[in-house]
Structure 1
Amino acid sequence: MNEHVAVVDLGYGDVGKGTVVDALCSRAKPRAVLRFNGGAQAAHNVVTEDGRQHTFAQLGSGTLRGVPTHLTRFMVVDPLALAAEARSLGNPFELLTVDGDALLATPWHRAANRRRELARGAGRHGSCGMGVGETMAYALSHDRAPRVGDALSRTALRARLAAVEADLGPAGVPLDDVVDAFLAFGRAVRIVSGHEKTLLREGPCVFEGAQGVLLDEWRGWHPHTTWSTTTFGNVSELCDSYRRIGVVRTYTTRHGAGPFVTEDPELDLPEGHNATGEWQGAFRVGHFDAVAHRYAVEVAGGVDGLAVTHLDVPERCPDLRICESYTVDGEAWTRIEPGPPRDLECQAALTERLRWAEPGPLRRPDDWAGEIGGLLGAPVVIESYGPAADDKKFAE
């Protein structure tokens, strides 16, 4: 690997970004994996050739190969969840750096997130229940929202956490216990500013995204979205030149509420690492949605190559098909027209139209990777037939 690479999910999450990042790290050890969006709600499952397995949330998916992780300023950092994840990996804090300007997620953000979602009743937006969106929302309305750099000062940290507790309500934990835990986090990790510039100069890096473009805060089906930029936007803020890799499965999936035009509960597609969750809701599966994934490629600004995962699945699921068009109010759609940038009213209107969309004719291709590449207008550079790095085929 002789150039920076960014890995972005072109679906609703869960497409196998972690396995792609791990495979990239297995070929030629990069200088670092840079996490550029999301937070502790990520679940990137990695299985190594020797059978080690871990579902990464905040640490990069190259950690099992000794590749350092840098959490950029675009991450929402949850020290308590990070401590639990690190402990399960033998506390590899020597591999971790964190930008001091990254937001801190606290137990009060998490509790407020869950109360808000419960209050919506049957109209839930969908959430991982980790407080990431609540943390982002709080920061937009509070100039002194807690950030990672505050974990270096008890006085600053306690004042900012006390303000969060006062503003958001109880979380069932003592303030000073959280202060002590966050100060321990500040001692355990290396807190830096703008460290990605050094890493990018020192060697090729991999940017690892979280969730998917169809959940993007501005381009997803509002309001069933994340409070995070899931496109390449944040990567472009950090790096001038990099290769864009978009990841899709051979079938489309979605966790929880929101439009899903090609959903088909009758498909026999069991999931080893995804299931119905208390906060996310049901794990849903459907036929490959070329229309939605083409939209994702377009609003992400294009891709240089595709990684197609789960290429072993069509052989054992003979009913699986590809959808190339929708029927919406009697019209045939082969393209979803992107609305103006940052126009949530437009996105909400699109969401309502998609609720009533029906999949057009479905067909089964002979060459899944080739057909997907053709439909999305990009070469397939990685074919994945399983979770491990040696299950991947790289285009030369």
Structure 2
Amino acid sequence: MKKNIVILGTQWGDEGKGKIVDYLSKKSSYVVRYHGGHNAGHTLVVNTKKIILHLIPSGLLHTNVIGIISNGVVISISELIKEIEMLKKNSFIINKRLFISQSAALILPFHIAMDVAREKKLGINAIGTTGRGIGPAYEDKIARRSLRIGDLKNEKQLSIKLKKIVNYYNDQLVYIYKHEPFNYKVILKDLLKAKNIIDDMIADTTIMLHNAIKNQKTIIFEGAQGSLLDIDHGTYPYVTSSNSTIGGVITGTGVGPKNLNYILGVTKSYSTRVGNGPFPTEVFNSIDDYLTKKGNEFGSTTGRKRRTGWLDGVALRYSVKLNSLSALCITKLDVLDGLKEIKICTAYQDINTLKIYSSLSFFNLTNIKPIYETYPGWMENTSGVQNIEDLPNAARHYIKCIEKIAKVPVHIISTGPDRNDTILIKNIFL
């Protein structure tokens, strides 16, 4: 039996990972967020009720699950508390079920101010961040000046460290970006107030996970963003500030690679991207209008319209290799129901040399055009279908073609936003 399962995105995020984590969590004991911050948004629909989570692991909606926010995550305590209160209002009991790594770095108000100020100054050359302070918080982590969750336990040391880092940011924000200075005493007061709310949630989560593995508990590791946004392996510089590929699980939790038994890559049946950066299969015509409306392609974190395009098989193959994927989960298959024909990019062509590329290199994406294979649409309703045999023949053929292009099997298909709108082709726990 597979005990430890990784679920991560293969595209530029927004693949529907949260729903899949939620769907599979009923058979797990722990669900772990291992990187990113509240720039991620996982939208779940449970009994027609929409729940949007940004920091708290999606599996916590099941009463049998313990949720862990591990050391690889950067945490805005104010946003975390908002989520905790939201779940309580929706009758989800999280007492003694949510734990936060003492080593997780904090996102503080000056990080957000710096993020926004930099993007504004860049103008048309902006990265397209969510403006949540994620990048500056990770910068502090690498520069070894972060405040971490565990620092909240010692008020005296917290005050000394906070004053030092506030002065560091005020020097830049005031003199370079003409921003009002931050008062460290105000921030300290807010942190101490928040600490009283989350104090009993702070733990050594690495030890918790090692004990869970020792006791043969089932663990799901929940990725945020997508592989093509990875700081090392994505479409740099239009990427996030953490490792959203498989390596982020190991560094972000302290769990070694031999304890990862199965890696599921989640991909939409088409492609989307939020923010700036290369997007080879992007469409701008009526297909964009259709996918945006039918797929409700607006960011759950920022509300921004997502850019849309056909499924990029070249990028998908790259993600399969990069993450050593065991299998794929295809989401939003039902969005394609109304299309007479559907395309998948299977190669790139250099517009200058006419050379054909079947593998991905981020250094030539600005000079290529996609080469497509076209498939017939099914023009039938697949929304809510739960058995593979009930899909139209053309839809099943499309899935088979994705398997052939990606060179890994499809084990799960999502046919709608509700947790039950799912086709399980293979029990991945076996």
- TM-score, length basis structure 1: 0.90
Native 8 Å contact 2:99 2:205 kept in 1:
no
Query: 2:416 aligned to 376, 386, 389, which one?
Result: 386
Q: Residue in 1 aligned with 2:384?
A: none
Matched, 1:191 2:214: no
Task: Map residues 354-373 of structure 1 onto 2, 5 A cutoff.
Answer: 354-364=365-375, 366=394, 367-373=397-403
SS at match of 2:228: helix
Of structures 1 and 2, the larger Rg is shown by 2
SS at match of 1:361: strand
Q: Residue in 2 aligned with 1:106?
A: 108
Matched, 1:53 2:53: no
SS at match of 1:41: coil
Matched, 1:261 2:280: yes
Are the structure 2 counterparts of residues 198 and 276 from structure 1 closer, same or farther at C-alpha, using a change threshold of 3 Å?
Answer: closer
The Cα offsets for residues 67-116 of structure 1, whole Å up to 9 and x where unpaired, read as 22111111111111100111110072421111111111111111111111
The Cα offsets for residues 26-79 of structure 1, whole Å up to 9 and x where unpaired, read as 3x2x1110111111111011112x223211111111121122211111111111
The Cα offsets for residues 285-304 of structure 1, whole Å up to 9 and x where unpaired, read as 0001101111122222x210
Q: Residue in 2 aligned with 1:161?
A: 162
Q: Residue in 1 aligned with 2:137?
A: 135
Deviation (angstroms), 1:201: 2.8
Matched, 1:34 2:32: yes
Deviation (angstroms), 1:322: 1.1
Matched, 1:63 2:60: yes
Deviation (angstroms), 1:8: 0.8
The Cα offsets for residues 333-370 of structure 1, whole Å up to 9 and x where unpaired, read as 11114xxxxxxxxx5xx1xx212221113412532222
Q: Residue in 1 aligned with 2:343?
A: 321
- Out of 63-72 and 30-39, give the one that drifted further: 63-72
SS at match of 2:265: strand
SS at match of 1:298: helix
Question: In 2, Cα distance between the equivalents of 1:147 and 1:172?
Answer: 19
Task: Map residues 118-267 of structure 1 onto 2, 5 A cutoff.
Answer: 118-141=120-143, 143-169=144-170, 170=181, 174-194=186-206, 195-202=208-215, 203-237=217-251, 238-239=255-256, 240-241=258-259, 242-266=261-285, 267=287
Native 8 Å contact 1:128 1:280 kept in 2:
no
Deviation (angstroms), 1:178: 2.6
Tell me the amino acid that sits aligned with residue 60 of structure 1.
Answer: P
Question: In 2, Cα distance between the equivalents of 1:277 and 1:309?
Answer: 16
Question: In 2, Cα distance between the equivalents of 1:120 and 1:279?
Answer: 19
Deviation (angstroms), 1:127: 0.6
Native 8 Å contact 2:263 2:325 kept in 1:
yes
Are the structure 2 counterparts of residues 273 and 138 from structure 1 closer, same or farther at C-alpha, using a change threshold of 3 Å?
Answer: farther
Question: In 2, Cα distance between the equivalents of 1:382 and 1:171?
Answer: 48
Among all aligned residue pairs of Structure 1 and Structure 2, give the percentage whose two residues are the same amino acid.
26
Question: In 2, Cα distance between the equivalents of 1:184 and 1:40?
Answer: 21
Native 8 Å contact 1:127 1:280 kept in 2:
no
Question: In 2, Cα distance between the equivalents of 1:125 and 1:306?
Answer: 29
Question: In 1, Cα distance between the equivalents of 2:139 and 2:128?
Answer: 16
Tell me the amino acid that sits aligned with residue 335 of structure 2.
Answer: V
SS at match of 2:164: helix
Deviation (angstroms), 1:166: 1.3
Are the structure 2 counterparts of residues 176 and 273 from structure 1 closer, same or farther at C-alpha, using a change threshold of 3 Å?
Answer: farther
Question: In 1, Cα distance between the equivalents of 2:41 and 2:269?
Answer: 19
Native 8 Å contact 1:10 1:212 kept in 2:
yes
SS at match of 1:265: coil
Tell me the amino acid that sits aligned with residue 21 of structure 1.
Answer: V
- Structure 1 stretches lacking a partner, 5+ long: 338-346
Q: Residue in 1 aligned with 2:331?
A: 309
SS at match of 1:312: helix
Query: 2:355 aligned to 331, 351, 367, which one?
Result: 331
Question: In 1, Cα distance between the equivalents of 2:268 and 2:283?
Answer: 15
Native 8 Å contact 2:149 2:202 kept in 1:
no
The Cα offsets for residues 252-303 of structure 1, whole Å up to 9 and x where unpaired, read as 0000100000000221113566427997864100001101111122222x21
- TM-score, length basis structure 2: 0.83
Question: In 1, Cα distance between the equivalents of 2:342 and 2:226?
Answer: 22
Tell me the amino acid that sits aligned with residue 248 of structure 1.
Answer: T
Tell me the amino acid that sits aligned with residue 45 of structure 1.
Answer: T
The number of residues matched between the two structures is 378
Are the structure 2 counterparts of residues 277 and 123 from structure 1 closer, same or farther at C-alpha, using a change threshold of 3 Å?
Answer: farther
Native 8 Å contact 1:289 1:322 kept in 2:
yes
